[in-house]
Amino acid sequence: MRQRLALLGATGSIGRSCLEVLRHHPERFELVAVGALGSRLEELAAIVAEFRPRLVAVVDEAAARALGRALPAGAELVSGPDALRLAAIHPGVDRVVAAVVGAAGLPPVHAALAAGKDVALANKESLVVAGRLLTELAASTGAAIVPIDSEHVALHQALRAGRPEEVRRLVLTASGGPFLHRDPATFAAIRKDEALRHPTWSMGAKITIDSATLVNKGLELIEARWLFGIAGERVDVLVHPQSLVHSFVEWVDGSWIAQLSVNDMIFPIQYALAWPERWENEFPRLALAEFGALEFLPLDEAKFPSVALARAALASGESAPAVFNGANEVAVRAFLDERLPFPAIVDTIRAVLERHDPHPVGSLEEALGWDAWARRAAEQHLAARSLSR
Ligand code: NAD
Ligand code: MG
């Protein structure tokens, strides 16, 4: 039987790679629902024309009206803030691909898991904001959360080599981003176009900035904690500029198991969609001999304090990772709008976390409440910062 999918964030970088995987395996999938914000309307219309989903969900109402006129007969259109949630719980959908960027992905992911639908998760922010809530919900409904993030897909595979109690630690690899070798004394002069030029991956703007600050690796540390049930102190980061080894598991006997592939998101996406199977494909093969050397370096925590900040937030209480994430989203937006210098992104997260008193997160409303609190606090911090200049 064909898998019946909802793809949320269809017009993004992960969305496009996911559609590429579907095109490689037309006999395996039916794309029942697609969702997007609505900012790339022509692209969305082309996706709808090609895949003929039964439901199209567009958050932006004006974009939805414009798209509505071009919709093929029989397709249903929903719009507004609840649109992606409706796509996630569509009765004809078995599995939801969560490829929205940011905490905006949390309500649809929560709804999918509550409805017992498996989630292939690229939207790491939802696990960062509400990790305990989502993993407990999935356990109670029997829904699976399978990662799409390449590091976590690597860990998911490497963890098949042994039992949980035999794991010593997880080692996330990090490319180091575009500023790995840049003098930190010049970080204040970093321009947006420099930060948007990632050395090894082509991705959406927000995660590309997160990769330059290494906040992305902090988010991934928290994501790993919830996906694999392992304390943050046992998740480490190793810089690997070639991005071919996607992560490692170190076992109690001193063995390491790694996973490698060409650095293209079609590999982890196919893994997530095929799991628990593994499918043949005609994707490009890894030609390791062409690379010669693979490098591994320690993370310079003084230059990139964001991983330590994320680990401390995770240890300090359940709401603190939500605050870490919300403050980061506001600061990254401000950097992309050229309202904030590069080093002030991580300074903003730190300042907002310092004002935060961590609490348990018992419901979706509480998780969204902490996200909103962090955004307000970050905006206040940015306003005070620009006044003092
Ligand atoms: P992107 O910016 O390219 O695409 C984002 C998608 O989400 C678009 O379809 C957009 O319409 C939709 N969207 C944006 N804001 C929305 C909102 N407020 N409400 C509803 N929909 C909204 O982002 P991306 O690079 O594809 O990343 C998506 C997610 O996958 C992120 O969580 C990112 O961290 C994660 N991820 C991405 C990559 C990658 O290679 N791009 C790798 C690993 C993980
Ligand atoms: Mg990743």
Q: Mind listing the pLDDT tens digit for each residue in 66-91? A: 998 888 888 999 999 999 999 999 99
d(CA 338, CA 223): 29
Q: List the structure tokens of 65.
A: 């009206």
- Write down the pLDDT at residue 70: 81
Q: For atom 31 of ligand 1, which residue has the closest CA? A: 101
And the tokens for 137? 């919900």
Last residue within a domain, chosen from 147, 178, 213: 147
Q: For residue 11, which atom of ligand 1 is closest to its CA?
A: 9
Please, what is the end-to-end C-alpha distance for the chain in angstroms? 62
Pocket test for ligand 1, best of 21, 78, 101 (most atoms within 8 A of CB): 101
**Residue 194 zone, left/alpha/beta (φ > 0; ψ -120 to 50; rest):** alpha
Of 63-67, 161-165, 199-203, the poorest mean pLDDT is in 199-203
Taking the centre of ligand 1 as the mean of its atom positions, its distance from the CA of residue 141, in whole angstroms, is 26
Distance 326 CA to ligand 2 centre (A): 19
Write the residue with the smallest CA distance to atom 39 of ligand 1. Answer: 203
- Asked whether residue 8 falls in the same domain as residue 82, the answer is yes
- pLDDT, tens digit, for every residue of 356-374? 999 999 999 999 999 999 9
In a domain, 276, yes or no: no
Q: Do 15 and 107 fall into the same domain?
A: yes
Q: Does the structure show a pLDDT above 90 at 387?
A: no
Cβ 251 under 6 angstroms from ligand 1: no
The verdict on residue 125 lying in a domain is: yes
Q: 277 lies in a domain? A: no
User: Could you tell me if 122 and 193 lie in one domain?
Assistant: no
pLDDT band at 167 (very low <50, low <70, confident <90, very high): very high
Residues 175 and 249 in one domain: yes
pLDDT of residue 73: 84
Residue 281 lies in a domain: no
CB 15 near ligand 1, within 6 Å: yes
pLDDT for the residue numbered 50: 96
The radius of gyration of the chain's CA atoms, rounded to the nearest angstrom, is 20
Strands (E), 107-201: 118-121, 145-147, 167-174
Helix (H) or strand (E) run with residue 62 in it: helix 61-68
Q: How far apart are CA 315 and CA 91, in angstroms?
A: 38
Residues near 55 by beta carbon (within 8 Å), at least 6 away in sequence:
6, 32, 33, 34, 75, 76, 77, 78, 86, 87, 90
In-domain check, residue 272: no
List the domain range (segments joined by +) for residue 325: 152-264+290-388
Is 228 found in the same domain as 344? yes
Cβ of 84 less than 6 Å from ligand 1: yes
pLDDT band, very low/low/confident/very high, at 335 (cuts 50, 70, 90): very high
179 in a structural domain: yes
Per the structure, the count of domains in the chain is 2
pLDDT in the model for residue 386: 85
Closest by Cα among 101, 100, 126, 124 to 114: 126
**Does the pLDDT value for residue 201 go beyond 90?**
no
250: domain CATH number is: 1.10.1740.10
**Does 59 contact ligand 1 (Cβ within 6 A)?**
yes
How high is the pLDDT of residue 13? 98
Q: Decide if 68 contacts 77 (C-beta within 8 A).
A: yes
Distance CA 160, CA 239 (A): 24
pLDDT for 284 equals: 95
Distance 211 CA to ligand 1 centre (A): 14
| Ligand 1, atom nearest to 102 Cα | 32
Residues 313 and 196 in one domain: yes
- Nearest-CA residue for ligand 1 atom 2 is 204
User: Is 283 inside any structural domain?
Assistant: no
Pair 128, 156 in one domain: no
Residue 248 and residue 133 in one domain: no
pLDDT number for residue 247: 98
Beta strand segments in the chain, E: 3-8, 29-36, 55-58, 76-79, 95-98, 118-121, 145-147, 167-174, 235-239, 245-251, 256-260, 297-298
Name the average pLDDT for the chain.
Answer: 97
| List of residues 6+ apart from 68 with CB closer than 8 A | 77
Residues 167 and 28 both lie in one domain:
no
**Which is it for strands 245-251 and 167-174: parallel, antiparallel or unpaired?**
antiparallel
pLDDT confidence bin for 207, thresholds 50/70/90: very high
**pLDDT at residue number 229:** 97
Check pLDDT > 80 for residue 376.
yes
347-352: long-range contacts, CB 8 A cutoff, minimum separation 24: 348/378, 348/381, 348/382, 348/385, 349/215, 349/306, 349/309, 349/324, 349/378, 350/305, 350/309, 351/327, 351/381, 352/323, 352/326, 352/327, 352/377, 352/378, 352/381
With a 6 Å cutoff on the Cβ, whether 369 touches ligand 1 is: no
Give the model confidence (pLDDT) of 248-275 as tens digits: 999 999 999 999 999 999 999 999 999 9
Residues 333 and 259 in one domain: yes
The CATH number covering residue 8 comes to 3.40.50.720
| Structural domain ending residue among the three candidates 115, 147, 179 | 147
pLDDT at 389 over 80: no
Indicate the residue among 93, 128, 147 that finishes a domain: 147
Q: Per the domain annotation, does 279 fall within a domain?
A: no
Residue type, 106: L
Q: For the residues 139-149, what does the mean pLDDT come to?
A: 98
In whole angstroms, give the CA distance from residue 29 to residue 7: 12
Q: What is the pLDDT of residue 200?
A: 87
> What residue type is assigned to position 195 of the chain?
A
Distance 113 CA to ligand 2 centre (A): 22
pLDDT at 162 over 80: yes
Q: How far apart are CA 337 and CA 314, in angstroms?
A: 29
Does residue 47 register a pLDDT over 90?
yes
Phi, psi of 20 (to 5 degrees): -65, -40
Note whether 253 and 382 are same-domain residues.
Answer: yes
203 and 313 part of one domain: yes
Q: Is the CB of 10 under 6 A from ligand 1?
A: yes
Question: What is the edge-to-edge ordering of all strands in the sheet holding 235-239?
Answer: 256-260, 245-251, 167-174, 235-239, 297-298
Distance 333 CA to ligand 2 centre (A): 20
